[in-house]
Structure 1
């Protein structure tokens, strides 16, 4: 029996269900607009509803790319409200319960109806726009159906990512190269569109398929051209592990036998300036500075190794502090010593060595009025000496007449080092002001090129590499870390590469071997000789096997190439000064056929132990190149002459008794390797026994169930 009006009906006046409860709507729908209008009319005390705007056509929706809009049509059971049957409204509690009960009773029926209606809409297209609203009938007004609609809408939302450029491999596989317009068509402008409807997603997918189908043909020719281009641009063979492959990577440093050492050294000087290497040797004798007043330099004959007596050591007494000293490269008995009074003293060592201390030099050269930083002999011209002083000038002297020939200027601070180019025409300096300078002394008194060098002010060294094409500079950075830099000799604005080593106060002294392009660097007080190969391609500095000594050394001096034992594959020889000994040090490369002359390691070397020109010829710009000499001993065969290329052998296939095609050398080598692998496999023991076969299992009775 009906006892009263239906609670929470639309005619209930101020007491409205819409003001108490609100069913959450699906995101993207326009139902919230109708809900707001309904709430506004309720506040005014009326029951009127705002009619929704007619739905837009499907074609217009496709052009404007709207989101999927959910329209809900509610039919009221009362006959009095038939005029309002097409009005959109939020569900009431009773309608929600009734609709959910109906949906629970026949979910399959609703699903079939939904599927049929959606298929009809897909076939009708733009001719029947009302079909879109028919899909959302009263049967879909339940909470379960609304949830299903919400989930299906979230699945149909496509969020396109910005597509990356077409890869080269993918582009070359197409029938013709992409044009800018064609590539613009492929790239869908979806950066500004975050959500699209389900029909939009289908259209985009079909568009991608059509484009990919239209450009699929004729890719074989482009692939072939790409392959040929890749083969043309192949680089030199390099190791994937170590980078550039070097013949001297596994060099080995070996200290000579103890019988060749000079022992019991005493009173070594620790006051030598940083610009001086502190130790020099030639193939006959070595010069070692001693501590104490008078500027003493001890001379030891290498032909008389052993333990030194405890008495007075024969030495050269200069009378003032020693700044630098160097052996004449063309005369092993003449030693030049620079002192802090600006005088260069030329000493002549008698045959057989010193027998007692002496203070009478052969000649004296008053070079500067201030202290001298260092002295350098010319590498090719005889009797040409260079001096650098605290007055920031560099002078070139003719030692035969003791006459100053050239004065170089342009330095603004202390000069750390100077190095002659291999051709003897150029000279490079590194200065405390952080600049590298290259001079052509016979043409200009000022530098012809200038660039930035090491920023540290502790000290630096410089040398030339690769026939004068590059300059190697060692120094410090801002945090006193030792580093090695390689510069192009024609462009000094910035280093090509810089290798950092460690933090140490000692200056790295470089020693460069021309034939092997090996750079040896070490410092006073170090126990490691760092080895690098300087190349003309990146990374320009390739680390080799470093040599670690058993004790600290105070200096290192290398000999010329003609004193290397090539029969033992010795490509460099040096003498090492420690606190108490002088030891020979040999650097070799491991080779299997050491009885042969390794001509790939020992190319014709420049003769640097004999003068190429006189001082007058050099100052007159009559340059001559240094002669080259082969280091191959007599009666020793070269490795290249033994390694003869074997002719391509023809091997007939004997599989079926008929003669097959002739094998090339590569195929022959491959077959030979397979035969070797088979022979090695045949020697291996073939055992199919498993480890668990020797294990003792449990008793069979234990597996029986009780």
Structure 2
């Protein structure tokens, strides 16, 4: 039986279903920043949403179980001095979240399992290296502690979060970077850019290995993601401003594998891809629908499945990793739709009558353990994600279990920013080095002024003593 027939028989009837009203997250003031990110990140433990805040940037992190109305005084994660533009959960630690902001910094946070009593304001590490706002942040899919950031300075920086140091900086983009997507094993990433080029980059060689000018002829922003097989799925616009999908082979960018026109709406389509099922879910900002397509190796390669529609337009969207779905309900994907004042989970389900575990719907999926250490990846090793079975569902480990894991660099390093001064000076970014030198000089000046004051007081005391003897 051919692969396409099996796929069609499994996913032809996938349907979307929003949860009951009391299972949504209400009274969330979603950010109004005009930035084309999803504003939402979710994992099997937590829901994180970028929210409106005065005097800086903040986001809300809720345990998934805390449904219903959110208390207006619920503690936020604060620390950025400008609006937060993007957030991303670490794939190898469900309590670690990265954020980036208009304030030119990126931060990595440890989120406790319990509800904090006050706002979380102290990140594990602050990553300073961009000169303009940082709008994109992405964890490496298989290597521990490797994090990518892209800023409006047109730079892409790859960091080792365990040490807080930049590993490499790529400056191949002459204009604003719209999005970045790692491939399945994290050996390459693709980018879309305001110069209308789609690029495939090898970060360890610091070079662009393939590029395509105008995969979509329209001038509006594009998005691109790697599929599991190594092809690139793109969303963009035609010359007539119609939304368009494309599938490309990066080893032969001349002709698309598939090109498909959609509609005339002007919202940028954000793609969310599931490598286990090869289904891509498309959510346009301002749309009230989610379309989903199946990618196969037989023509027409990109198959339309169905559309989930609702009344309210979406402000953003989060996508649950496969290990967070409910296998007992034949749920193959879950999206978290942001409204103006709430977040609504939407379940994508395959209708099956049996209550038994459906092996064909749930192949082993990417688990929470990294396949590589940072040094191994830097020295050229590649590895696919380490897979786990979904047969008994996935139970996230508690924070305390993660803290005793000696091999987790994030948990074994000191928890405050000040520990950065212990890093060898030669490996620090220049801006951070300047900041440390300036701080040392200020402390020296303070010490000198205090010494002068002590001398003056001692002189006064000796005169007083001499006068009374």
Same fold flag (TM > 0.5):
yes
Tell me the CA shift for residue 245 of structure 1: 3.9
Tell me the CA shift for residue 421 of structure 1: 0.4
Tell me the alpha carbon deviations over residues 395-418 of structure 1, each in whole angstroms, 9 at most, x when there is no partner: 211111122212223222221111
The answer for the alignment partner of 2:23 in structure 1 is 260
Gaps of 5+ in 2: 394-469
The answer for the alignment partner of 2:356 in structure 1 is 596
The answer for the alignment partner of 1:615 in structure 2 is 374
What SS class does the counterpart of residue 377 from structure 2 fall into?
helix
- Aligned partners of 1:585 and 1:418: how far apart in 2? 25
Q: How many residues align?
A: 390
What SS class does the counterpart of residue 306 from structure 2 fall into?
coil
- Aligned partners of 2:27 and 2:77: how far apart in 1? 15
- Aligned partners of 2:289 and 2:11: how far apart in 1? 17
Alignment CA distance shift 1:341-1:534 (3 Å): same
Within 5 Å, which residues of 2 pair with 1:22-101?
none
Tell me the alpha carbon deviations over residues 371-417 of structure 1, each in whole angstroms, 9 at most, x when there is no partner: 22311110111110111122322121111112221222322222111
Quick check: 2:182–2:226 contact (8 Å CA) kept in 1?
yes
The answer for the alignment partner of 1:446 in structure 2 is 207
- Aligned partners of 2:378 and 2:370: how far apart in 1? 14
Tell me the alpha carbon deviations over residues 89-135 of structure 1, each in whole angstroms, 9 at most, x when there is no partner: xxxxxxxxxxxxxxxxxxxxxxxxxxxxxxxxxxxxxxxxxxxxxxx
Matching of residue 422 in structure 1 with residue 184 in structure 2: yes
The answer for the alignment partner of 1:327 in structure 2 is 89
Tell me the CA shift for residue 562 of structure 1: 1.8
Quick check: 2:144–2:372 contact (8 Å CA) kept in 1?
yes
- Aligned partners of 2:154 and 2:114: how far apart in 1? 39
What SS class does the counterpart of residue 208 from structure 2 fall into?
coil
- Aligned partners of 2:128 and 2:72: how far apart in 1? 36
Higher strand proportion: 2
Tell me the CA shift for residue 544 of structure 1: 0.3
Alignment CA distance shift 1:619-1:238 (3 Å): closer
- Aligned partners of 1:563 and 1:360: how far apart in 2? 28
Q: Which has the larger radius of gyration?
A: 1
Tell me the CA shift for residue 611 of structure 1: 1.3
Quick check: 1:468–1:489 contact (8 Å CA) kept in 2?
no
Tell me the CA shift for residue 280 of structure 1: 1.2
- Aligned partners of 1:371 and 1:314: how far apart in 2? 21
The answer for the alignment partner of 2:429 in structure 1 is none
Alignment CA distance shift 1:441-1:601 (3 Å): same
- 1:471 pairs with one of 232, 235, 252: 232
What SS class does the counterpart of residue 502 from structure 1 fall into?
coil
- Aligned partners of 2:199 and 2:108: how far apart in 1? 29
- 1:409 pairs with one of 171, 174, 190: 171
Within 5 Å, which residues of 2 pair with 1:8-407?
245-266=8-29, 268-274=30-36, 276-291=37-52, 292-311=54-73, 314-407=76-169
Quick check: 1:408–1:441 contact (8 Å CA) kept in 2?
yes
The answer for the alignment partner of 1:534 in structure 2 is 295
Quick check: 1:322–1:338 contact (8 Å CA) kept in 2?
yes
TM-score normalised according to structure 1 size: 0.53
TM-score normalised according to structure 2 size: 0.78
What SS class does the counterpart of residue 97 from structure 2 fall into?
strand
Tell me the CA shift for residue 310 of structure 1: 4.4
Tell me: higher relative CO, structure 1 or 2? Use CA pairs within 8 A at least 6 residues apart: 2
Alignment CA distance shift 1:315-1:462 (3 Å): same
The answer for the alignment partner of 2:198 in structure 1 is 436
What SS class does the counterpart of residue 410 from structure 1 fall into?
coil
Q: Which stretches of structure 1, 4 residues or longer, exceed 4 Å deviation after superposition? A: 235-239, 310-313
- Aligned partners of 1:487 and 1:287: how far apart in 2? 32
Gaps of 5+ in 1: 1-234, 635-706
